[in-house]
Amino acid sequence: METISENKAFGGVQGVYSHQSHTTRCEMTFGLFLPEEARDGPVPVLWYLSGLTCTHENAMVKAGAQAWAAEQGIAVVFPDTSPRGEGVADDDAYDLGQGAGFYVNATQKPWAPHFRMWDYIAEDLPSMLQEEFPLDMSRQAITGHSMGGHGALTLAMSLPGRFRSVSAFAPICNPTGADWGRKQLQAYLGDDTGQWAAQDASLLIRERGFDGPILVDQGADDQFIDLLRPETLVAASAESRQEMTHRMQKGYDHSYFFVSTFMEDHVAFHAEALYAD
Amino acid sequence: METISENKAFGGVQGVYSHQSHTTRCEMTFGLFLPEEARDGPVPVLWYLSGLTCTHENAMVKAGAQAWAAEQGIAVVFPDTSPRGEGVADDDAYDLGQGAGFYVNATQKPWAPHFRMWDYIAEDLPSMLQEEFPLDMSRQAITGHSMGGHGALTLAMSLPGRFRSVSAFAPICNPTGADWGRKQLQAYLGDDTGQWAAQDASLLIRERGFDGPILVDQGADDQFIDLLRPETLVAASAESRQEMTHRMQKGYDHSYFFVSTFMEDHVAFHAEALYAD
């Protein structure tokens, strides 16, 4: 692991690190905020998965999470959204290839060799973090924005016991039924739509649900709301009696101004679960 | 005036606007955060002047001011740091020309026709803001980072009665005595160093002082601290018995992580002055 930068922030340290991933077979960069309390021992961890076009950096500098994480004594991990580099496949579109990993393990050409973001987030990065940093991996929570909200919801439901709470900002809720999803799932997973269902939060919530609280914020004026399909998530969760708070926020759009506005609530929500018992 | 974007944020609106400035004789862009309270009537104004290389955007997305400004019901203005455009003089160096206006009125070639940032901040932009937005111009405060801290301090001291309070994050304190200053003052104002003194906060604080409270935060691990010369400002203010709090913050550097860490304190400091009487 290589340290790219470390800046003191809110009494703790905002670091950026890179490492050679054996999962994505390329160098991966991530951000990690460690609160002051990490000097004295392991602290709980909140994962923040970013959206299309983002790197590890966007949320790290724009989402305002560190102020609240410092207040709660929680670490925040900011992974990248895809493998990157010259030897890694890419596409001219902003919503496919580098910057658009969709948190799945690709099985199709040309993506399969590197685009294994599910395993990277679920296995590779956590094991490295556990070795290198004072993190209490028995206390993890996950959140994300847009494509990252999709990743947070699907990972949380598919890894029972891993995350105590899950939240999302304007998540892609129904990728099997929208252009933000069908295009990428076809490219990464192939034409067999049966393979897609495991990557769809609205389908998973009926099938598996989540054994813990869920919080979702959605801007009513989100310019991408027709691609996100929040109505599928709220219908599925209500029908399956899933513990969830879904807030349709009047006047807010899809930007980081929306995310940062509600970040305090999300960190407090996760802190309650992370510090329970 | 043209609206470039408006995003709901923290109950208010983060806008970006452009206008043709008769002072800098080019199109100028600025950010303005209006809190929810601005719907009901004029609100107090906090100016945030940015540092070298920045546009109106950097602090607007990275400094985290809106959360606290919303809490206090205060507007925040984020001006650009220089005139810009194809017809505007520039230099290859990052610290001269576009992005480096230094908040002075240039008198020298090739800068004089457009580089009039003092008048732009002191006259042009305030009069436009007053016309277009619900701002209470009898309640103004000013802050800034690095070169912007220099601008905030010199403007506040040179316009008595304009600002009720002034603060700065890692300001350039003594531009007549450091490479961050001598180079630019010579380029913009010429070789007569007598013309430079009015642009030096450490000299002004002895000559004029400020009729109100000053708050300055400085990171002890700031990579540019030798260029900033905080020792000149604290010595001058102590000797002239200026009301000032100067905090040397252990471990912090020059980045926005430093700025955002202490933003809550600065906004609260200004709110106290803005809401007095």
pLDDT of residue A74: 98
What pLDDT band is residue B84 in, cutting at 50, 70 and 90?
A: very high
Whether A219 has its CB under 8 Å from any CB of chain B: the answer is yes
**Cα B138 from chain centre:** 18
Residues A155-210 pLDDT 10s: 999 999 999 999 999 999 999 999 999 999 999 999 999 999 999 999 999 999 99
State the best of A4, A5, A6, A7 to mutate against chain B, taking most chain B CBs within 10 Å. A7
Averaged over A225-243, what is the pLDDT?
Answer: 94
pLDDT of residue A110: 98
State how many domains chain A has: 1
- CB contact (8 A) between residue B8 and residue A66: no
Closest residue in B to A10 (Cα) is B261
**Cα B50 from chain centre:** 6
**How far apart (Å, rounded) are the C-alpha atoms in residues A119 and A102?**
12
The set of residues, in sequence order, having a beta carbon less than 8 Å from that of A209 and lying 6+ positions away, is A157, A240, A242
pLDDT for residue B277 is more than 90:
no
Helices (H), ranges, B63-146? 65-72, 117-119, 125-132
Looking at the DSSP bridge assignments, the partners of residue A76 are A33, A46
| Complex confidence, ipTM | 0.85
Q: What is the pTM of this model?
A: 0.91
- CB contact (8 A) between residue A258 and residue B8: yes
Residues of A annotated as catalytic (active site), given as ranges = 146, 222, 254
Which residue segment(s) compose the domain that B132 sits in?
2-274
Closest residue in A to B13 (Cα) is A257
List b or e across B113-127, with b for residues whose CB sees 16 or more CB atoms inside 10 angstroms.
Answer: ebbbbbebbbebbbe
What pLDDT band is residue A76 in, cutting at 50, 70 and 90?
A: very high
Averaged over B55-82, what is the pLDDT?
Answer: 98
Amino acid identity at B225: I
Strands B26-34 and B12-21: antiparallel
Residues B212-225 pLDDT 10s: 999 999 999 999 99
Interface A-B, measured as beta-carbon pairs within 8 A, has a size of: 64
Averaged over A265-269, what is the pLDDT?
Answer: 98
CATH of the domain at B101: 3.40.50.1820
Averaged over B21-40, what is the pLDDT?
Answer: 98
State the best of B7, B223, B258 to mutate against chain A, taking most chain A CBs within 10 Å. B7
Q: What is the mean pLDDT of chain A?
A: 97
- CB contact (8 A) between residue B8 and residue A253: yes
- Residues of A within 8 A of B256 (CB-CB) are 61
Closest residue in B to A67 (Cα) is B261
pLDDT for residue B197 is more than 90:
yes
Q: What is the mean pLDDT of chain B?
A: 97
In percent, the amount of chain A with pLDDT more than 70 equals 100
Name the residue among A8, A64, A255 with its Cβ closest to that of B251.
Answer: A8
Closest residue in A to B71 (Cα) is A261
Length of chain B: 277
**How far apart (Å, rounded) are the C-alpha atoms in residues B32 and B77?**
5
CA atoms within 13 A on the CB side of A169: 26
- CB contact (8 A) between residue B7 and residue A258: yes
pLDDT of residue A113: 97
Residues A113-131 pLDDT 10s: 999 999 999 999 999 999 9
Averaged over A65-84, what is the pLDDT?
Answer: 98
pLDDT for residue A65 is more than 90:
yes
**How far apart (Å, rounded) are the C-alpha atoms in residues A121 and A129?**
11
Whether B247 has its CB under 8 Å from any CB of chain A: the answer is no
- Residues of A within 8 A of B251 (CB-CB) are 8
**How far apart (Å, rounded) are the C-alpha atoms in residues A165 and A37?**
21
Tokens of A99: 């910057």
Residues B105-126 pLDDT 10s: 999 999 999 999 999 999 999 9
- CB contact (8 A) between residue A258 and residue B61: no
State the best of B13, B32, B61 to mutate against chain A, taking most chain A CBs within 10 Å. B61
What pLDDT band is residue A234 in, cutting at 50, 70 and 90?
A: very high
- The 8-class DSSP code of residue A257 comes to H
pLDDT for residue A277 is more than 90:
no
* Nearest chain B CA: its distance from A21 CA (Å): 28
Residue (of A209, A64, A237) closest to A145 by Cα position = A64
Whether A133 has its CB under 8 Å from any CB of chain B: the answer is no
Query: What is the number of other CB atoms lying within 10 angstroms of the CB of residue A109?
Result: 10
Residue (of A120, A158, A164, A159) closest to A138 by Cα position = A164
